[in-house]
């Protein structure tokens, strides 16, 4: 294999691909490596941790096609330290990768590409495909992954549930104590019910750069592929059924108030300081007589805190919430005004943006 490619393009691709390498627990050496494959007029870089694989396809000047694998992190760091605007020559010979860029030269010991794991294939014809603008992909995924769980004893909750309902694609995540849902794509024609690992989605988010317009998602029974520009990320799906969460979103709540986000955030953060002793629990209260919404916390050792803001409210109500969850929820919504709805002490609390009704964030109250 022998190719020529610019430093900037190779470095950018290696940075993305190498993140996946060397993340498995067993430490099989080949999994620390990136696979370079030169074929036709294209160089592909591949790394996998056997749950996720990233491939970057680069146009390059191929002098001789061929393959090799070398430690991904080492190659990535070496290339990124080379001067910009240089042309890099990569030559694979006798199981070694020789890299030359002007006065810089290195030889890295590799492993034959035969040992590199084969990647599962996706039948594109049979796959369910969706296409979405990368900006809306970014905001939607970011909004829901806050509520996903990292408790591996319940695998289905460590992912984001892609599901179609009434001709729209929804995404949802829950950790058992809170839940968020976003109407992701409207008017879809095929159905999908799949749990995508949150870690894979984070990897996709990290790999999306500003110059990518659209992201294509291809689902089959056991895997999903995200295609964005020259990058393809393929992930396993999580096996196991996601809870029938839609049942848990209250259709309406008894007390509904509109709150200023900045003020709401400040009040919650202040109360959270006093809530450390009580495991983060803060008391949200509405009062009809003086039309206020207040958040308070009591720390028997330290003291107590209470702040209130005006709110258009007709009845008294009280609910106890985990302040960390509340801060996450407020933070997930990118609007100046939020709707906060609840009914009674134990019914789920619903938080939405005042304008965007496609995103719903639910927090289960704490028992007081």
Partner 1 sequence: MRNEWQSVLDEIGRNVSDMAFATYFSNLKLASNKNNILTIEVPNVFIKAQIEGKYNPVVIRALKTIGIKYDQIKLTESKTERKTTRRSIEVLPESKPTRKAETHTITSNRLVARDNGLNPKYRFDNYIVGSNNDLAVSAAHAIVEHPGERYNPYFIYGGPGLGKTHLIQAIGNELIKQNPNMKILYVTIEQFYHDFVEAMRKKLDGFTDKYRKLDVLIIDDFQFIVGKEKSQDEFFHTFNELHQKNKQIIVSSDRLPTQIATVDERLSSRLMMGVPIDIQLPDFEVRCAILKSKAELLGVDIENRAIEYLAENIKSNIRDLEGKLNQLLALSELRGVSPSDLIEDGYIEEAIYTKRRVVSPKQLIDKVAKYYNLPSKEILGKSRVKHIKSARQVVMYLLNEELNLSTVRIGTELSKDHSTVIHGIRKIKQDLKLDFSLREQIADLREKIYVS
Q: Does 279 bind partner 1 (CB under 8 A)?
A: no
Q: Closer CB to partner 1, residue 134 or residue 234? A: 234
| 144-163 binders of partner 1 (CB under 8 A) | 154, 157
Among 81, 190, 222, 312, binds partner 1 (CB under 8 A): 222
Residue 221: both structure tokens together: 């029974």
Gap between the Cα atoms of 46 and 55, Å rounded: 4
Gap between the Cα atoms of 30 and 34, Å rounded: 8
Q: Does 22 bind partner 1 (CB under 8 A)?
A: no
Among 10, 14, 31, 204, binds partner 1 (CB under 8 A): 31
Task: Number of helices (H) and strands (E) in the chain: give both, helices first.
Answer: 6, 25
Q: Does 287 bind partner 1 (CB under 8 A)?
A: no
| 301-340 binders of partner 1 (CB under 8 A) | 315
CB atoms within 10 A of CB 354: 15
Q: Does 187 bind partner 1 (CB under 8 A)?
A: no
Least distance in angstroms from the C-beta of 160 to partner 1: 15
Least distance in angstroms from the C-beta of 212 to partner 1: 25
Least distance in angstroms from the C-beta of 50 to partner 1: 4
| 93 phi and psi angles, rounded to 5 deg | -155, 130
Q: Closer CB to partner 1, residue 94 or residue 118? A: 118
What pairs with residue 322 in β-bridges? 281
Q: Does 223 bind partner 1 (CB under 8 A)?
A: yes
CB atoms within 10 A of CB 40: 9
Counting beta carbons within 10 angstroms of the beta carbon of residue 74, is it exposed (0 to 12), middle (13 to 18) or buried (19 or more)? Answer: middle
Q: Does 345 bind partner 1 (CB under 8 A)?
A: yes
Q: Closer CB to partner 1, residue 100 or residue 129? A: 129
Q: Does 245 bind partner 1 (CB under 8 A)?
A: yes
Gap between the Cα atoms of 255 and 265, Å rounded: 20
Counting beta carbons within 10 angstroms of the beta carbon of residue 311, is it exposed (0 to 12), middle (13 to 18) or buried (19 or more)? Answer: buried
Gap between the Cα atoms of 134 and 128, Å rounded: 18
Closest by CA to 297, choosing from 320, 315, 330, 263, is: 320
Gap between the Cα atoms of 264 and 351, Å rounded: 12
Per-residue binding letters, 51-90, with partner 1 (x by CB under 8 A): x-x-------------------------------------
Q: Closer CB to partner 1, residue 78 or residue 242? A: 242
Helix (H, G, I), strand (E, B) or coil at 329: helix
Q: Does 244 bind partner 1 (CB under 8 A)?
A: yes
Largest CA distance in the chain: 83
Q: Closer CB to partner 1, residue 29 or residue 95? A: 29
Least distance in angstroms from the C-beta of 247 to partner 1: 4
- The site for partner 1 (CB under 8 A) is made up of 24, 26-29, 31, 48, 50-51, 53, 117-121, 154, 157, 166, 174, 176, 179, 193-194, 221-223, 236-237, 239-241, 243-248, 254, 315, 343-347, 367
């Amino acid at each position: 294999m022998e190719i020529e490619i610019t430093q900037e393009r190779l470095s950018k691709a290696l940075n993305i691909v190498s993140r996946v390498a060397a993340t498995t627990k067993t430490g099989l050496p080949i999994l620390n490596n990136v696979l370079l494959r030169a074929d036709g007029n294209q160089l592909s870089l591949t790394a996998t941790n056997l749950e996720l694989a990233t491939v970057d396809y680069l146009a390059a000047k191929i002098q001789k096609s061929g393959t090799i694998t070398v430690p991904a992190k080492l190659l990535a760091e070496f290339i990124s330290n080379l001067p910009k605007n240089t042309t890099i020559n990569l030559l694979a010979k006798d199981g070694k990768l020789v890299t030359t860029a002007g006065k810089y030269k290195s030889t890295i010991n590799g492993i034959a590409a035969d040992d590199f794991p084969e990647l599962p294939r996706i039948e594109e014809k049979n796959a369910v495909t969706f296409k979405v603008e990368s900006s809306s992909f970014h905001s939607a995924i970011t909004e829901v992954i806050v509520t996903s769980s990292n408790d591996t004893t319940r695998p289905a909750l460590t992912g984001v549930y892609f599901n179609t309902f009434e001709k729209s694609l929804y995404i949802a995540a829950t950790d058992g104590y809170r839940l968020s849902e976003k109407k992701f794509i409207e008017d879809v024609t095929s159905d999908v019910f799949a749990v995508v690992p949150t870690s894979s989605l984070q990897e996709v988010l990290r790999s999306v750069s500003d110059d990518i317009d659209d992201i294509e998602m291809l689902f089959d029974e056991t895997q999903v592929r995200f295609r964005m520009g020259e990058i393809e990320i393929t992930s396993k799906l999580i096996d196991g059924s996601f809870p029938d969460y839609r049942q848990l979103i209250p259709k309406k709540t008894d007390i509904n108030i509109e709150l200023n986000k900045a003020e709401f955030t400040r009040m919650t953060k202040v109360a959270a300081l006093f809530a450390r002793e009580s495991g983060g629990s803060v008391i949200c209260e509405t009062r009809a007589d003086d039309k206020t919404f207040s958040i308070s916390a009591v720390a028997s050792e330290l003291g107590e805190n209470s702040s209130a803001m005006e709110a258009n409210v007709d009845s008294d109500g009280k609910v106890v919430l985990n302040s960390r969850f509340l801060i996450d929820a407020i933070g997930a919504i990118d609007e100046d005004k939020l709707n906060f709805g609840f009914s009674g002490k134990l019914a789920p609390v619903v938080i939405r943006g005042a304008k965007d009704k496609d995103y719903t964030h639910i927090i289960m109250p704490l028992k007081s």
